[in-house]
A and B are shown apart, each in its own frame.
Chain A
Amino acid sequence: MSDSRDRAKPDDLPRADRLMGAGIAALYVGWLLSTARNLGFARDEGFYFHASTAYAGWFRNLLDDPRRAVSRGFVDAAWQANHEHPSLMKSLFALSYEWLHTRWHILADASTAFRLPGMLMMGLALWVTYLFAARAYGRRAGLLAAGLLGLAPNVFYNAHLACFDVPIMAMWVSCIYVYWRSEANGGRWAILAGIVFGLTLETKHNAWMLPAVFLPHALVVHHATLARHLRVGRVPIPASLVSMALLGPLVFVGLWPWLWNDTLPRVQEYVNFHLNHEYYNIEFLGRNYFGPPSPRAYAPVMIAATIPTVTLLLFVIGAADRVRVLALRARSWLSRTLRRASLVVAPPRDRLETDLLVLLGFAVPLAVFFLPRTPIFGGTKHWFPAYPFLAILAGRGFDVVASRLEAALEGRLEPRLRRAAHAALAGLVLLGPILVTRHSHPFGLSTYVPFVGGTSGGADLGLNRQFWGFTTQSLAPWLDRNAAKGASVFIHDTAWDSWARLIDEKRLRPDLRGVGTPSEADFSIVHHELHMAEIDYNIWVEYAKATPDYVLTHDGVPIVSVYRK
């Protein structure tokens, strides 16, 4: 391993790397677009479709009559919808819907227009992950980091959605990246850090945890300066942090019209909503959790069961490598501070403390899931911000492995064969994640990695199979064949707005009628989740039979049951 790889190199990334990262992002967004039509609408998407449509109306008003649009009545009427979440993504969904679908007819499906900003955010996450890893640990680390980030079934599923979990992942890594660049370059990067921090706040509330990344990191990076200045009574604060403190709230409030009126009470309401969030039901290891305390094993087990094992192995190798380097630096620093001779040869100093920043970027979003009062109903998506850093460390792990391969083959094979060996190594690392992710669609939430037994292994372990009722669309072929014209369907966990869009876009036969109870329905569906077994039993009583007429499965595991009256 060369010394140069132990130091961050934020300033000398060739243009080819930027293009390579963008190329991976573009390919991935293309993949998402090509598979979007197969994926039904999640419950929350239905709510965001509704809110974004209201926001689109406001944007139209803003263009037609700006003075009237910013009046309190107009603002509150439009932005009240789903005001428990910030508006950045819903605004982008709205703008995409208004222009790419309604006005310019570029996207035939309104849903794809709503979803496109989320997909582009996934592209951003891949691009920034590539740039971060490539600058910190080299090109092959960047390539593998970006590839492995996208090649996980849960991530692939969520990357399709008009929701906030992938966007906050993208903004989280982007914000930390910009902060890192600002530490190296200051100036416009510091200003950009403030703006990006505001955008991250405006994406989802996970952003409020970012100070737990920046403050300890800044303290380590600037401790010497800080100590010097404190002695003379001054408190120096890095420009990026000042910028975040000043510009972040301005961007947050400025881009969220709901906060333009009654700002403090509405901010208070927003904070209270998330601090006192309802606990939804989620199955974990065969038990249904619906309130605190949340199991501490949830995040580790779910990560192990949903991230391809080879990715996790590379992450462990990469993380161990960086922790070792950090430990050596810390030991060397301690020796210097205590003025003791040290026999340890310290790795070159990295004034940006990149390894520490990467480890904090990974650990902070996960840390809250070890607290007993943190709800766990979101499955893995609520800690997605940790994943770019998991991928960066996996990229670093690949770099370590590739270096070992180089060393092992040195002098044994000619360069052409050594290059082939490297390509084979990358291929063997990526092939499993590619196959598993591709096969998971559109049942990304039901899929578990091969080492835990795949989808049926996850079911054996009693892990959640789905939530949000998005699998309704996958019944379309069966309903096409079996439902009479105008038949009614009890839609169970499908949100009404999601059902309406499934019908609007002819993803389900437009003559089918959604109804709210089995008694009204010709067909009743059950999305299989442990706590929702009551719906199954309700239908048994209603239809006086306990046998479904069709069971939609993924790899043999029941996803949705359909009963005919």
Chain B
Amino acid sequence: MAKHPSPQDEGKSSGARHLVASLRLSRSEMAQKEAVRVLYPESSSETDLALRIWRRGLQLDLARLLSVGGVIPGGVDEQQVAMLVLHDVLTCLPLLQRTGRLHALIALLAHPPLAAATAEEHEAPGEAPEIDPSAAGSIDEIGGGDFL
């Protein structure tokens, strides 16, 4: 069984890796953890900080799951998760703007990928998407022969 680190062990160097709350972190991950510490001023220990960061990741994953129609355990309110993610998006707007991702996001909202193709072309759940009857013939006309 893996040995749990004592509070004194936390953050100690183990080669190029560091143990924090039983998580084996690389040097760069340690540096990133220190950088985000400022976002969690209420954390009381390294373990508490690790737990808070983990919870944040869990919330994001729940939001991702709900977004694609996944089912989450009872007791989690969809509205609450949406608000948490909205807060994250708002916080990250300057970064998205600086890196040009906001523009891409707006374009995506204006023209959702696949919207034209899937919504219109999937006739009913469970049915095979029909390939347009004209498509096979069009291949012959532009240099496609028969299967060998």
Partners in one complex: no
B residues apposed to A, CB below 8 Å:
none
A residues apposed to B, CB below 8 Å:
none
